[in-house]
Amino acid sequence: MQRFVDLTLNGISQGAIYAAFALALVLIWRSTRIVNFAQGAMAMLTTYFALALIESGQPYWVGFVVALIAGFVLGVVLERLLIRPVEGGPELNAVIVTLGLFVALQALAAILFGSSYESFPAPFSLTGFSVGGTTVAFTPFNAFVVLAVLAVMLALVALFRLTDLGLRMRASALHKEVSRLLGIRVGHMLTLGWALAAVVGSLAGLLIAGGSLIHPAYMEPVIVFGFVAAVLGGLDSPTGAVVGGLLVGLALSYVSGYLGSELVALAALAILVAVLLARPQGLFGRTTERKV
């Protein structure tokens, strides 16, 4: 029973990290209709910025905030310089650009910071809680991760459902020409979507780095599992991203604990294929019919 509890708590903490990355993918998709495969590399780069500040003697939270700001700026710069020129062409062009960005940013990080493993601190204890004399595999830092992800989910739901800004962002992504005719500055909305998604991605990078070792490719597993979580929950749903992340985290934790860690990647692939076959729009996604 204790093993099951430990695996469940581990799945929740890991699932929250996948959910954070899935939220970034949902945000960029809802605001620009682009799947940004460079999201993980962008998050990795900003995490290194935070580590550089922390190692220079700055408090953890200074590095944390600077990483989020750096993510915002990086999102703006990349959208303006590299994505904007291809936005009017075939959708595949933007996807190819993000794949190129993924490779380029990883190479840039290796040049600037090296390829060796670096220890990244955590702002809270990594010792599990003690319940009835038994230490469970859920730490104060894990609790912080879960609460941070839930806060981001609620903020995104409020942004898209309750604010005029969120409505303009969604309109700009879905109907650019109509939005321009209505006076919406579509270019600004697309840039803002990239910037906000980069901030959420940077948060995911910081959360997975806490208390562990990082290197230029440390986000690669999160990219895969976070994408599976986003597809499972639905690329249009912040709530679906969190639910999908938690479900993927729990499923992979059970597979790793009971069947072996070598089957984790296969299990993620099986989840992705099953969702695409049974419910392509995801658990919380909705399909709409166009009336002619």
Residues 6 or more apart in contact with residue 265 via CB below 8 angstroms = 224
Give residue-wise pLDDT tens across range 152-203.
999 988 988 888 988 888 888 877 788 888 888 888 888 898 999 999 999 9
Q: What is the mean pLDDT of residues 226-248?
A: 91
Task: Report the range out of 81-90, 135-144, 191-200 with the highest average pLDDT.
Answer: 191-200
Give residue-wise pLDDT tens across range 246-264.
999 999 999 999 998 889 9
Residues 6 or more apart in contact with residue 48 via CB below 8 angstroms = 109, 112, 113, 214
The model's pTM is 0.88
Q: What is the mean pLDDT of residues 104-129?
A: 89
Confidence band, pLDDT 50/70/90 cuts, at residue 129: low
- With H, G, I as helix, E, B as strand and everything else as coil, classify residue 289: coil
Residues 6 or more apart in contact with residue 292 via CB below 8 angstroms = none
CA distance 82 to 101: 9
Taking 80 as the threshold, does the pLDDT of residue 1 lie above it?
no
